[in-house]
Structure 1
Amino acid sequence: MDNKVFDEKEMRFHTRKWVKPEDLNPNQSLFGGRLLQWIDEEAALYAIIQLENTHVVTKFISEINFIASPRQGDIIEIGIVATRFGNTSLTLRCEVRNKITHEPILTIDRMVFVNLDKEGKPTPHGKTAITFVAERLLKSS
């Protein structure tokens, strides 16, 4: 069944972005679409690394809660944590915060990514827990 839930690990903030003039909306704050682009890319990379497969797609993104509006010059960081491993899917949670103040900017409770075969069909990934590249390298040595 597609519902292997595990104890949530600590949120890890891997990516930092500097809000530049080209990222702003007419209100002179970060354009929400740009932030969502950064989040989707970071989450997809996280899923690809966890599932060890470059054929991964975004299936679902739950409610997006914009809490604050970053301004030009702010440094933000994107945090991702896996919350569920399904048979063919991986569910993530995302938080974005100001790097300097740690004030929250955005939360997304669920982002679901699906593992695909080379023909683009959902395929089991066989993963049940978060692993890190360093751990994988140690196991293969």
Structure 2
Amino acid sequence: MKTIITYGTFDLFHFGHVRLFKRLRALGDKLIVAVSTDEFNALKGKAAFFSYLQRAEIVEACKYVDMVVPETHWQQKAKDICKHDISIFGMGDDWQGEFDELSILCDVVYLSRTGEISSTEIKNSLAAKMPNHDINKVQK
């Protein structure tokens, strides 16, 4: 059985995320998605619109995803690969070369991003349409 893993915040879930999951899942038998926790995002200087629990629920509902796990720190990737018997570690090509050291544990692939969509672009577009609102603040 080939198991694939990927990592991300997956805020403002969109068709680019679905296409990434579909392409990753096609590489094997099981797809695990590690969703960044709110605390980890804060350490990275990021704020998600949706909470970790909401983002995990949204990602888990995608038919290509078999399991969601929390991403709590940068160093957990090697441990996750061993713990879940991962065959393929996959990320978008905006991370090209950043995780090559994991290739001693499994295959590492970087997939091209879906054009014309990103969570950042959505946030920027919403901010332009709603100049009096700070959409980058986390809603509780």
TM-score normalized with structure 2 length: 0.25
Structure whose alpha-carbon radius of gyration is higher:
1
- Structure with higher strand content: 1
More helix as a share of residues: 2
TM-score, normalisation: structure 1: 0.25
